[in-house]
Structure formats: structure tokens, C-alpha cells
């Protein structure tokens, strides 16, 4: 039987307790302020939720690492330190608002080859320059056939990136590996020649939506909003 309530990330427990404690104090002075505090406490629980996901499993599939909206699809030369080639690769950017699930999941099964942290600014994560200017952390996953780089990017509100894996660790596709607080972006660098199966404006479900298929020969997809 499927549970109605999703567990919350352990990093969120202290925030939920703080929100709840402040709400109780406010309630003693004003029922209105206390009520607002309890609403924010409920939002905090909702923000740190970890819903169960069913991950498609097949050779060549690349799964979305995050919930959110595809905000950018562009070809760029990846940073040298990623060691995934010097030619332009397609980068898919997924923007997370404060109501999205904020845990990240591995897009493929493989070995964590590198973890690279970049200090930086906290500009709007939806902007293209956030990939180079903002604080971010990248994992490079190698499945023996190709490599994928995933970058967690902090935004205007986000002030902490958690990466809960380590170099050399073997991980399955869709496995939880990190979290960004609060509002952020995740970039995925696809292998050379691989086109995304998603379009700008499309909603992603982390651990479930197929982002790309290395074995596919179809052209990049087009879409329209209704």
C-alpha cells in the first residue's frame, strides 16, 4: 500500500523544529501570526520531502536528476576540470522553485569519478550565467561507456548545497545523492552527440523523467505550449 506521507530529508528536521518552535511562541502573542507560522512549518515539511520514485532502467537511458522546469538547453564547452571532453556538449538546465522537490538523484548507474566544488555568487539561478558565476557543486558519473556531469547550482535564496556521495562510490540510476536549499538549478551535460528528449518549459520529475537516450537516433524534439 502506497504511503500518503513522504519522509523528509534529515537536513530539514532542524528547520521544521525551528519553524514549529517559533510558531508556538508567536501563537502566544497572536493567533494570526501563530497560524501563519504553522503554515510556514507545513511548507518546510513539504519542501524537504523525499517522495518515492520509480526509475526507468535500461542501457543508454539518462534520467532527470531533479524536479523542476527545463529552463535552458544549450551547447557549451564543459569546464576542463570535469574531464568529459573539450568539445561542446548539450547542457540541459532544470530550474527548481521553492515548491519543487529539492533532493537530487543520479541520472545513470555508474561510479562517482569526480566531485568538484566551485565557490561563487548567488544570482538568479534561472539565468544562463548562473552556470559559471554561482556557487555550485558537480559530480561526474562514469558507467564505463560514457560520462555524465551534473551540477547543483545555488540561487538567490539557496545558501547551501549538500552532496551526499563520495568519489569512487557506485550508485544506481535514480539514487538520492544531494540536496539544495532553497530554490536552485541543476545542469546536466549530455554525452557528445546525444540530443535531449525534453524541451524548454517541460516539467521534470527527478528519478523518473527520461532526459535523453544514448541509443536513440531521433532528432531533437520540438514542442508548443497550450
Number of H helices, E strands in the chain: 3, 13
Q: Cα separation of 57 and 172, whole Å? A: 10
Burial of 76 (0-12, 13-18, 19+ CB in 10 A): middle
pLDDT on residue 2: 44
Any catalytic annotation for residue 30? no
Q: Which long-range contacts link 11-15 to residues 24+ away (Cβ below 8 Å)? A: 11/48, 11/162, 11/179, 11/181, 12/44, 12/45, 12/47, 12/48, 13/48, 15/44, 15/48
Instruction: Phi first, then psi: give them for residue 19, nearest 5 degrees.
Output: -60, -45
pLDDT on residue 138: 94
pLDDT on residue 1: 36
Contact 200, 73 (CB under 8 A): yes
pLDDT on residue 172: 95
Q: Cα separation of 93 and 221, whole Å? A: 16
- Please state the pTM of the whole predicted model: 0.83
Cell numbers of 225, please?
505550449
pLDDT on residue 127: 56
**Digits of tens for pLDDT over the chain (226 positions)?**
344 567 877 777 878 888 889 899 988 888 888 889 888 888 878 778 888 999 999 999 999 999 999 999 999 999 888 989 889 999 999 999 888 888 899 999 999 999 998 886 655 555 565 566 678 899 999 999 999 999 998 866 555 788 889 999 999 999 999 988 766 889 999 999 999 999 999 999 999 999 999 998 888 888 877 6
**How far is the first Cα of the chain from the last one, in angstroms, to the nearest whole number?**
35
* CATH topology classification for 61-213: Glucose Permease (Domain IIA) (2.70.70)
Among residues 23, 93, 131, 184, the one annotated as catalytic is 184
Residue 182 preceded by cis peptide, ω within 30: yes
Domain boundaries, the chain: 10-47, 61-213
Amino acid at each position: 500500500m502506497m504511503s500518503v506521507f513522504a519522509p523528509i530529508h534529515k537536513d530539514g528536521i532542524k528547520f521544521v523544529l525551528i519553524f514549529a518552535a517559533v510558531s508556538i511562541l508567536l501563537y502566544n502573542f497572536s493567533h494570526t501570526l501563530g497560524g501563519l507560522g504553522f503554515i510556514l512549518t507545513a511548507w518546510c515539511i513539504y519542501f524537504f520531502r523525499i517522495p518515492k520514485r520509480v526509475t526507468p532502467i535500461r542501457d543508454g537511458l539518462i534520467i532527470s536528476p531533479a524536479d523542476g522546469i527545463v529552463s535552458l538547453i544549450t551547447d557549451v564547452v564543459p569546464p576542463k576540470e570535469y574531464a568529459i571532453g573539450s568539445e561542446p556538449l548539450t547542457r540541459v538546465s532544470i530550474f527548481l522553485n521553492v515548491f519543487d522537490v529539492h533532493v537530487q538523484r543520479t541520472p545513470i548507474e555508474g561510479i562517482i569519478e569526480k566531485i568538484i566544488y566551485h565557490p561563487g555568487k548567488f544570482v538568479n539561478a534561472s539565468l544562463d550565467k548562473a552556470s559559471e558565476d554561482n556557487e555550485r557543486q558537480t559530480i561526474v558519473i562514469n558507467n564505463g561507456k560514457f560520462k555524465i556531469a551534473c551540477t547543483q547550482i545555488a540561487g538567490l535564496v539557496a545558501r547551501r548545497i549538500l552532496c551526499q556521495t563520495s568519489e569512487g562510490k557506485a550508485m544506481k540510476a535514480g539514487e538520492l545523492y544531494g540536496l539544495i536549499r532553497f530554490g536552485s538549478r541543476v545542469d546536466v551535460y549530455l554525452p557528445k552527440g546525444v540530443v535531449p528528449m525534453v524541451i524548454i518549459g517541460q516539467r521534470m520529475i527527478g528519478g523518473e523523467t527520461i532526459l535523453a537516450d544514448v541509443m536513440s537516433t531521433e532528432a531533437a524534439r520540438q514542442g508548443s505550449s497550450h
